Amino acid sequence: MAEYEPILLKNVGKEGSACIQVYKASGGYGALEKALKTMTPDDVCQEVKKADLRGRGGAGFPAGVKWGFLPADRQVTYLCVNADESEPPTFSNRVLMEHDPHSLLEGIIIAGYATRATAAYVYMRAEFTEQFHIMQRAVDDAYASGYFGKNILGSGYDLECYIHRGGGAYVCGEETGLIESIEGKRGWPRIKPPFPAIEGLFGRPTVVNNVETLCNVPHIIERGADWFLAIGPQGSSGPKLFCVSGPVNRPGCYECSMDITVRELIESDRFGCGMRDGKKVKGVLPGGVSMGIITGDELDMKMDFADPAKYGLLGLGTAAATVINEDTDIRIVLRNVARFFAHESCGQCTQCREGTSWLYRVAERLAAGAGRLQDLDLLADLSVSMGMMPGLSICGLSDGATFGIKTIVSKFRDELEGYIRAQTPGKAEAALSIVN
Amino acid sequence: MAWKALDRNDGPPRAEGDRLSEAVKARIRVFFDRYETKRAVLLPALHIVQDEFGYVGWRAMEDIAELLELPPSEVFDAVTFYTYFWTHPRGRKVITVCRSASCEVMGSEGILAECKNVLGISEHQTTPDGNYSLQTEECLAQCDHAPCMKINERTYSCVKVSEVRGILEDPNNDRLDIPRSDLYDGAKRYGAV
């Protein structure tokens, strides 16, 4: 792990970092001027494509390629900003919006220019209350300074920017669920194709990008794609935010290249500063709850786009690591993950709606001390019979549900079996709140 | 076997509620030129109405439907899909305790239990004096400050069980120390009725 100077978080902690004056004083909106005055929209697209900026929201799809899917003869284009950060335990977008909202707005305008968008909708989850006020203030200030509206900086480019507040639904973080939600419907993901680039918001070509992805764009324009490619390993280039939470000494949002390991995130003095009270690591959910779990013996996993798959995980996800120490009952973690997906399944695909509910019921039974050994096989069995990857659901929510559950069950099977064997028969069944 | 919705439909039956005032309708109409369709104004309208009345009642849904040129069933459909909106009255302050994985391993169950203990209510209930309602939420994106909770718009970080009573007894516990945007507020907050 080489020395690393923060790029995305460079303004965090500065006095008044959310103010437009402070942002401009440190060179803010400079990349925008460069893009609007010296580059064509296609130049910007090409630069971002060359930088191989992979989406930071979870799927890792290259942003420049996504922009390239827009049809050439389009009249109206929309840019939707995914600020629905609702994957537990992720908070990096929140940190960016709280402390550096103008870097996001600058990214939005440059991305809007590159895609020739006419309006940008920032979809913020309803739970972002203080962050909404900060962002709305930033948008108002940016309008007042001529960064939004008609003829931005005399370039002839027009862009409106609106913050759209959500209603508290995890599934609206899925890009087509988000689009449906902006349209005023329940956030049910759409069947693809058509992809949003062809038929998105209000049936128009639409790009949906994550907050952190867009915050990278001004830096790519300012310093060039080669600078971006030189950071981190090939295929996982550029600065990346990592969240560390749980019983570590210094939980927080940190920035590094994607060649660090989970162990460094937890133990390094620059990041988590080790486990609280010197406890041992039992497991880590390294990419949000939907990517799966690694055990305390797998901490050498690299936090890039390729390595997590080698540990049986779905992917890097949101790169938000929740650390679980040796004192935590793994059944509690299992129940929490299962409950989350049962609650947040939108109910559109039958096997996800029913499957996540059943997973939760079985997990609840285990946590209450009324588990049966065959429940572990039942969980494993359920988790392979739903999801987009076997081609059964419209969106990836149920894939997330299954990876969380099946990795916990397979990697902590001995512990779970131990709990089941030690149960007192009959006692817990009577106390169980959910009746089968 | 019927699977009971986890927490959406708990509480008293549907509340009829009040009709929308012209002032509230005017606040909703501000959003019309932002979107290609009137229907897209639904979520902003629900935020404004919930801010005005504390919840989205049946008559309000009918009025929103009329304003946005939608069947009332479509409004009801969206209201009941999004957990943020309540269909029955809430307290003046809503306490939201986070129950994400990070908060749970850091002790959020103790925070929720203490809230219930101090207020004498359980989830999705309101105190008899109408001051507080209690709910849990999946993740408030404050995992570095776990366990966390919110009172209306204000976030409390790294909450200890011993601090809960003091927080709840503070009359200004929902006051923000940053400038607010009134875009999504109802009309009452400004005395504009």
* Nearest chain B Cα distance for residue A88, angstroms: 6
Give the model's pLDDT for residue B2. 44
Residue B154, strand partner residues: B151
Residue A284, strand partner residues: A294, A323
Q: What are phi and psi of A20, to 5 degrees?
A: -65, -35
How high is the mean pLDDT in each 10-residue block of chain B (193 residues)? 48 77 96 97 98 94 97 94 93 96 94 97 94 94 94 96 97 94 89 51
DSSP letters spanning A265-318 = HHH-TTTT-SBGGGPPEEEEEBTBTTT--EETT-TT-B-SSSGGGGGT-S--TT
Q: With beta carbons less than 8 A apart as the criterion, state whether A252 and A141 touch.
A: no
Q: With beta carbons less than 8 A apart as the criterion, state whether A398 and A359 touch.
A: no
- Per-residue confidence at A383, pLDDT binned at 50, 70, 90? confident
Give the model's pLDDT for residue B10. 54
* Residue in the block written with tokens 């062809």: A198
Q: Give the whole-angstrom CA distance, residue A399 versus residue A401.
A: 5
CB contact under 8 A, A202 and B184: no
Q: Give the whole-angstrom CA distance, residue A209 versus residue A111.
A: 9
- The overall average pLDDT reported for chain A is 94
* A312-329: average pLDDT: 95
Give the model's pLDDT for residue B8. 52
* Nearest chain A Cα distance for residue B119, angstroms: 23
CB contact under 8 A, B102 and A322: yes
Q: With beta carbons less than 8 A apart as the criterion, state whether B17 and B85 touch.
A: no
Per-residue model confidence as pLDDT tens digits over A84-110 = 998 999 999 999 999 999 999 999 999
Tell me, yes or no, if B43 comes closer than 8 A to chain A by beta carbon: yes
Chains A, B: CB pairs < 8 Å:
179
Give the model's pLDDT for residue B11. 53
Q: Give the whole-angstrom CA distance, residue A139 versus residue A45.
A: 24
Q: Which chain B residues are within 8 Å of A141, Cβ to Cβ?
A: none
Strands A119-124 and A160-165: parallel
Sort residue A59 into left (φ over 0), alpha (ψ -120 to 50) or beta: alpha
Of A166, A186, A328, the CB nearest to B105: A328
Per-residue model confidence as pLDDT tens digits over A156-173 = 999 999 999 999 999 999
As to burial, measured by CB atoms within 10 angstroms (0-12 exposed, 13-18 middle, 19+ buried), residue B86 is buried
* Nearest chain A Cα distance for residue B129, angstroms: 25
Q: Side by side, which strands form the sheet with B154-156?
A: B132-137, B93-98, B149-151, B154-156
Give the model's pLDDT for residue A425. 79
- Per-residue confidence at A80, pLDDT binned at 50, 70, 90? very high
A174, containing H or E segment: none
The tokens for A225 are 């794609």
* A364-391: average pLDDT: 86
Per-residue model confidence as pLDDT tens digits over A202-251 = 999 999 999 999 999 999 999 999 999 999 999 999 999 999 999 999 99
Give the model's pLDDT for residue A156. 96
Q: Half-sphere exposure of A337 toward its Cβ, with a 13 Å CA cutoff?
A: 29
End-to-end alpha-carbon separation of chain A, Å? 51
Interface predicted TM-score (ipTM): 0.94
Give the model's pLDDT for residue A2. 61
Per-residue model confidence as pLDDT tens digits over A36-74 = 999 999 999 999 999 999 999 888 999 999 999 999 999
pTM equals 0.94
Q: A7-44: string of b/e by CB count within 10 Å (b at 16+)? A: bbbbbeeeeebbbbebbeeeebbebbeebbeebebeeb
